């Protein structure tokens, strides 16, 4: 054990680590239009360049993989461990209250700002852990490589690019979730669904519906426009439905139409119970409106029947399931657009290990097909499981227990991390399960003590895996 040395090291260097995290947080690095040498746009490229600058200052061997990914090596030995994190972020809204999204601010021991918890804070905890082991001169026979990518939030094409060039390390962890150890990641079946029909102008009718902005985020806003119905009638239905759900509706008259807005609570699609879905609530509200019969309204109501508000277990869709290893399936309706003659939606499901094409995909295809709606994706993504008794997982649990004094255990999640497709990859830190970091939402934060503790744990893991 090198606990005393690591405690002293991070006591002396804590502020430097926080400064590096803040330098990255000031860069808006959500995915943007690609440019030459910037596969995911200017923001992710700038974040990667800043990280490489930090790594070079630390004395790491830094390698740039076409601006998709950068790696940071402690030494030239054979790789014993990879730490895999990301520098891209999800987009921000205008509802932040503690600070602006890209202006890091520390309040009561919490570092607020986009990326503090997901995943710039944890990424720097991993890089500083490697630096600590290097600076302390701890003897290693193997190399630890920190890998920082720039497209985790939008499909992980960065890592596909990297692993087309490099082989996996014998063991990999990603500090992009919770402690203790996440050794099970559910599979997924997430798809667009589409339909088109002849426009019907009979009144009253719905002209448009628009809600959601990202496939893996429970939407907090939705808007609908309708005509041929009185404002007071719409308000009465909104007021009645407000009492049934945790989404707030407002209605106003504008240019001869009625505009209804829904305000809910955003959340990660892997944890839909933490949000209030504005899209499912909007469609349920609209299905209560006295609209003229039409093909479009029938399909809209059909979507609402498949995804009723508050049903993230997939019961109405006919896909509710669970198993002892991975737990229950969740499904989130995340994006919807409707214009009176077509609709386009997206759902995001996190499937139990027991889910198959037959009991998941085929059931949903049939459900949507009954309303003349087509699903565009035809294959599921399988789940991921590293046995709890493996030496790697047991090492992670032991290091966690030694530094926190808490009991280590393995848990399953619905979110997919960078390690989902790696044979011996798990998620390990940095968040505490008991702390809501507002990840993917407004006022995202990381607890500074937790980040520092994570860096110490990661350093001990590097020592154990590479000694």
Among candidate residues 30, 82, 151, 152, the one labeled active-site is 152
Tokens 């004094």 sit at which residue? 405
146 to 55, 136, 371: CA distances (angstroms): 10, 18, 49
Which helix (H) or strand (E) segment holds residue 146: the answer is strand 143-149
Catalytic residue check, 152: yes
Torsion of CA 308, 309, 315, 317, to 10 degrees: 40
Other beta carbons within 10 angstroms of residue 371's beta carbon come to 17
For residues 39 and 68, the answer to whether their CB atoms sit within 8 Å is: yes
Among candidate residues 88, 158, 443, 444, the one labeled active-site is 88
Cis peptide, bond prior to residue 403, ω within 30 of zero: no
Tell me the two tokens of residue 386.
């590293």
Q: What CA–CA distance (Å, rounded) separates 171 from 168?
A: 8
Q: At a CB cut-off of 8 Å and minimum separation 6, what does 24 contact?
A: 47, 50, 51, 87, 115, 120, 123, 124
Q: Phi and psi of 110, rounded to 5°?
A: -115, 135
Q: Buried (b) or exposed (e) across 200-227, using 16+ Cβ within 10 A?
A: eeeebbbeebbbbebbbbbbbbbebbbe
Residue closest to 2 by CA, chosen among 405, 398, 461, 400? 461
Exposed, middle or buried: residue 82 (CB in 10 Å: 0-12, 13-18, 19+)? buried
For residues 197 and 342, the answer to whether their CB atoms sit within 8 Å is: yes
Catalytic residue check, 88: yes
For residues 437 and 90, the answer to whether their CB atoms sit within 8 Å is: no
Pairing of strands 374-375, 191-196: antiparallel
Strand, coil or helix: 264: coil
Catalytic residues: 88, 152
């Amino acid at each position: 054990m090198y606990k005393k040395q690591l405690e002293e090291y991070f006591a002396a260097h804590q502020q430097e680590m926080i400064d590096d995290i803040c330098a990255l947080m000031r860069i808006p690095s959500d995915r943007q239009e690609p440019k030459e040498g910037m596969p995911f746009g200017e923001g992710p490229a700038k974040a990667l360049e800043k990280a490489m600058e930090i790594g070079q200052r630390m004395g790491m061997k830094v390698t740039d993989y076409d601006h998709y990914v950068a790696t940071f090596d402690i030494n030239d030995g054979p790789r014993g461990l990879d730490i895999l994190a990301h520098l891209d972020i999800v987009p921000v809204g205008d509802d932040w209250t503690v600070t602006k999204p890209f202006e890091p601010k520390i309040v009561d021991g919490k570092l607020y700002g986009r990326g503090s918890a997901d995943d710039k804070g944890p990424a720097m905890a991993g890089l500083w852990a490697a630096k600590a082991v290097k600076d302390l001169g701890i003897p290693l026979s193997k190399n630890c490589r920190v890998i920082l990518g720039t497209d985790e939030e939008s499909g992980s094409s960065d890592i596909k690019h990297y692993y087309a060039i490099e082989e996996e390390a014998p063991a990999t962890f990603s500090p992009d979730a919770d402690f203790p150890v996440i050794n099970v990641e559910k599979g997924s079946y997430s798809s667009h669904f589409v339909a088109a029909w002849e426009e019907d102008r009979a009144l009253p009718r719905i002209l448009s519906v628009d809600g959601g902005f990202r496939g893996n985020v429970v939407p907090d806003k939705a808007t609908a426009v309708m005509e041929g119905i009185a404002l007071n009638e719409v308000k009465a239905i909104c007021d009645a439905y407000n009492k049934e759900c945790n989404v707030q509706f407002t209605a106003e008259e504008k240019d001869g139409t009625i505009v209804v807005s829904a305000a809910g609570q955003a959340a990660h699609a892997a944890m839909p119970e933490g949000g209030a879905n504005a899209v499912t609530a909007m469609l349920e509200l609209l299905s209560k409106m006295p609209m003229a019969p039409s093909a479009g309204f029938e399909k809209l109501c059909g979507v609402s029947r498949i995804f009723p508000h508050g049903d993230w277990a997939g019961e109405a869709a006919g896909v509710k399931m669970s198993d002892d290893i991975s737990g229950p399936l969740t499904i989130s309706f995340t994006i919807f657009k409707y214009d009176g003659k077509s609709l386009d939606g997206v759902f995001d499901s996190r499937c139990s290990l027991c889910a198959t094409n037959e009991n998941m995909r085929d059931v949903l295809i049939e459900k949507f097909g009954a309303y003349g709606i087509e699903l565009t994706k035809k294959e599921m993504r399988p789940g991921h499981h590293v046995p709890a008794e493996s030496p790697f997982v047991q090492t992670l649990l032991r290091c966690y227990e030694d530094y926190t004094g808490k009991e280590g255990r393995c848990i399953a999640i619905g979110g997919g991390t960078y390690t989902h497709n790696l044979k011996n990859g798990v998620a390990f830190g940095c968040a505490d399960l008991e702390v809501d970091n507002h990840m993917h939402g407004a006022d995202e934060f990381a607890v500074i003590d937790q980040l520092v503790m994570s860096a110490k744990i990661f350093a001990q893991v590097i020592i154990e895996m590479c000694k």
